[in-house]
Amino acid sequence: MLEIRNLHARVEGKEILKGVDLTVNAGEIHAIMGPNGSGKSTLAGVLAGRELYEVTDGEVIYKGRNLLDLSPEERACEGVFLAFQYPIEIPGVSNTYFLKAALNAVRKYRGLAELDAVDFLALVKEKMQLVEMKHELLNRPVNEGFSGGEKKRNEILQMAVLNPTLGILDETDSGLDIDALRIVANGVNKLRSTENATVVVTHYQRLLNYIIPDFVHVLVDGRIVKSGDKDLAFHLEEHGYDWARELHDPAEQEA
Amino acid sequence: MSTNAQDLEKLTSGDYKYGFVTDIEADTVPKGLNEAVIRMISQKKNEPEWMTEWRLKAFRMWRKMEEPHWAHVDFPPIDYQDISYYSAPKMKDGPKSLDEVDPELLATYEKLGIPLKEQELLAGVAVDAVFDSVSVATTFKEKLHEMGIIFCSFSEAVQDHPDLVKKYLGSVVPATDNFFAALNSAVFTDGSFVYIPQGVRCPMELSTYFRINSLGTGQFERTLIVAEEGAYVSYLEGCTAPIRDENQLHAAVVELVALDNAEIKYSTVQNWYPGDKDGKGGIYNFVTKRGKCAGVNSKISWTQVETGSAITWKYPSCILAGDNSVGEFYSVAVTNNRQQADTGTKMIHIGKNTRSTIVSKGISAGYSQNTYRGLVKIGKNADGARNFSQCDSMLMGDKCGAHTFPYIENHNSTAQMEHEATTSKIGEDQIFYCNQRGISTEDAVNMIVNGFCKEVFRELPMEFAVEAQKLLGISLEGSVG
Ligand SMILES: Nc1ncnc2c1ncn2[C@@H]1O[C@H](COP(=O)(O)OP(=O)(O)OP(=O)(O)O)[C@@H](O)[C@H]1O
Ligand SMILES: [Mg+2]
């Protein structure tokens, strides 16, 4: 479904991704871990089409197409969903209105009829149960004044409503209390199918107790230096990233 | 610059496609302004002597006044002797049918959902049959007449209701109030007159729209609305559709009078030609709008959505004379390209326990300048007066400007005032967030801007609000579509 080859990307002239390779198949869950500033959000942003990031080399094939050729909204309509590490506030625009606009934009792109208010609300209510979100948040402006945890749940609600093919969760677990973590993880698990795939970026092995990954990758300094199964996460938890850093000692690479 | 930023700029730099020039054959007085010209205007309108004298008095004062330049706007000197102050335009080479009208203009009308007949009217199609559509207006008029409501052109009012006009004309905006008001008082051509008798609630939104015989933007319009004790009226001025107009200088005066327990709600949508990208050819709009809450418990509320004109100079104000009276000002001002707007309000608290609310939303794009200028004045007898002001600015791109000048003059220690101000940029991150959910940049901008203006749109009559939202999108969209 997704094939990333030798991906290089820059931010403000500074190279952040230095050759990422990653293959994700339908039905799989991949976890990406790595130290702060190693480029995890950059990778997520590049996949979603954030203009800030300039791709300098490599390619990304998604459902047989060159993903990098598509605009951010085309990618979204093609089923790429990014749960933001820091969800954005949009004052004055109600959460429901935003979600309906998003869903109908995606449906329109796919040649489906737009949902009317009644059908839409029924769908949202169903999905809200999945993330156990307070009903009042629907009528509030998008993310404005939401607590950290409420914002993260809102991201998952959006994901549930939009039902993406490729979900990328950027530290959705940060800032969640234990109960919320379980609820969000449950939500993700329920959305899981043989048709779609999920990439979760996280710092904590804890999340992976709830969302069991098929693969764990360690991203250090813009490269995936190690891949393994879920046990790799335990290893990282125990030993930190230092040993992984050594895996790609620049001196060693030059040699 | 990232493409998102470029998109934004592209979105906001579109040409105004709706301005175009046509030759007109007009019944016009010679250029220039002197007593003879004023007498001629008055005579052409068959006015009584007192009206002529009133004009002349204003003119004599105007000659001694100077064009004000304190506003944050910049324009070349206006030669007041180079303007023709009276013309009854006749279309000569105007479009014969909608087929000849700029398709872009029609597309806008279409987007705004304007019926065909009215499209013809707005586009200036030279069709006599257009006036068939007045039948709706006539029906309304009959109903209003039964209730004792007077709703007519200002000229008609001078003829048919001279006592009312004499009593209230200039009672809120004196003929010599300011340079532009004095000019208007001397040369005004027409406008609207509304009178709601005691205890009557006007059952429909009154709009210049229904007064089709005088539709069009008079260069020097004069509006007077009087609500007697316990009366209520909601008045709509303007139209979301772009209106063609050959006159560059517009100086209107609007006066509102609310007596005991009366309420006047005045809503405006202004979408005049803003000029081309360099600001050439746009309309200068210097308006004096003021309401007087003369009676106890009276209320006047101004709501405006300003997207047009090259230069806007406009401060709808309230004089809160009656005890417990309420003044409100809700405003959205959008500027793009080289447009300049200096707009705001004055709330003059005189009576006890008077309250005022100011909500101003300024959106600047392109190279435009958008200024809020407001005065809250609390008189020494205005015990318990309260004001709440909120002035928010939104910038699109980094070449435009937003300025806020809130002035406060307080002469009473019991007054309570609250002021909030914010400036935000329409964020690339907000647009990206919308894009990532499948929403196009155009729709995202629309959504974000409309969210920003929500508190004001909420005050507009329902249908107007829907149109205003669309209009905002169109004003900022420009070439994308
Ligand atoms: N807009 C920007 N301007 C300059 N540098 C940036 C920008 N965005 C990211 N960077 C830099 O790119 C590097 C990678 O950032 P990124 O956000 O991808 O890290 P991360 O792996 O997600 O870290 P964290 O675990 O803290 O979320 C960091 O050094 C960061 O400072
Ligand atoms: Mg990150």
Nearest to B447 among A49, A75, A93 (CB): A93
User: What pLDDT shows up at residue A175?
Assistant: 82
Taking the Cβ of residue A121 and every Cβ of chain B, the question of whether any pair is shorter than 8 Å is answered with no
Quick one: closest CA in B to A106, which residue? Answer: B438
Test site for ligand 1: of A41, A199, A202, A245, most ligand atoms within 8 A of the Cβ? A41
Q: Can you give the pLDDT at residue B143?
A: 81
Choose the residue to mutate in A40, A50, A86, A174 for probing ligand 1, maximizing ligand atoms within 8 Å of C-beta. Answer: A40
Quote the ligand 1 centre to A87 CA distance (angstroms). 16
Question: Which of A10, A12, A20, A42 to probe ligand 1 with, by most ligand atoms within 8 A of CB?
Answer: A42
B 401-440 near A (Cβ less than 8 A): 424, 427-430, 432-440
Q: Do B439 and A87 touch (CB under 8 A)?
A: no
Q: Is the per-residue pLDDT at A134 higher than 80?
A: yes
Considering only the beta carbons, identify the residue of A71, A76, A141 that sits closest to B437: A76
Question: Which residue, judged by its Cα, is nearest atom 27 of ligand 1?
Answer: A36
Nearest chain B Cα distance for residue A175, angstroms: 20
Residue B434 has a pLDDT of: 97
Entry pTM: 0.80
Predicted pLDDT at B247: 61
Q: What percent of chain A has pLDDT over 70?
A: 96
Judged against a pLDDT cut of 90, whether residue A232 lies above it is answered with: no
Confidence of residue A254 (pLDDT cuts 50, 70, 90): very low
Whether residues A105 and B437 touch (CB distance < 8 A) is answered with: yes
Do residue A76 and residue B436 have CB atoms under 8 angstroms apart?
yes
Q: Is the CB of A38 under 6 A from ligand 1?
A: yes
Mean residue pLDDT of chain A comes to 90
pLDDT grade for A245, boundaries at 50, 70 and 90? confident
pLDDT band (50, 70, 90) for residue A250: low
Q: What is the mean pLDDT of each run of 10 residues along chain B (481 residues)?
A: 46 38 48 88 90 96 90 82 69 59 63 64 46 45 87 89 96 94 91 94 76 49 95 84 63 96 93 71 86 98 88 93 98 87 94 97 89 95 96 88 92 94 86 96 89 90 78 61 24
**Residue A58's domain is classified under what CATH number?**
3.40.50.300
Does ligand 1 have an atom closer than 6 angstroms to the CB of A52?
A: yes
Q: Tens digits of per-residue pLDDT, A166-193?
A: 999 999 888 888 888 888 888 889 888 9
Q: Domain of A177?
A: 2-254
Ligand 1 atom nearest to CA at A222 = 14
Which residue, judged by its Cα, is nearest atom 5 of ligand 1? A11
Instruction: Compute, in angstroms, the gap from residue B333 CA to the centroid of ligand 1.
Output: 38
pLDDT of amino acid B231? 98
Quote the minimal CA–CA distance from B4 to chain A in Å.
7
Asked which of A41-50, A191-200, B331-340 is least confident by mean pLDDT, the reply is B331-340
Are B436 and A92 within 8 A, CB to CB? no
- Count how many domains chain A has: 1
What pLDDT does residue B99 have?
73
Asked whether the beta carbons of A44 and A11 are under 8 A apart, the reply is no
> Which residue has its alpha carbon closest to ligand 1 atom 7?
A11
**How many A from CA of B278 to the centre of ligand 2?**
44
ipTM for the predicted complex comes to 0.94
A93:B436 CB<8 A: no
CA–CA distance, B361 with A243 (Å, rounded to integer):
55
Residue nearest to atom 24 of ligand 1 (CA): A36
- Residue-level pLDDT at B332: 94
Q: What is the mean pLDDT of residues A98-114?
A: 95
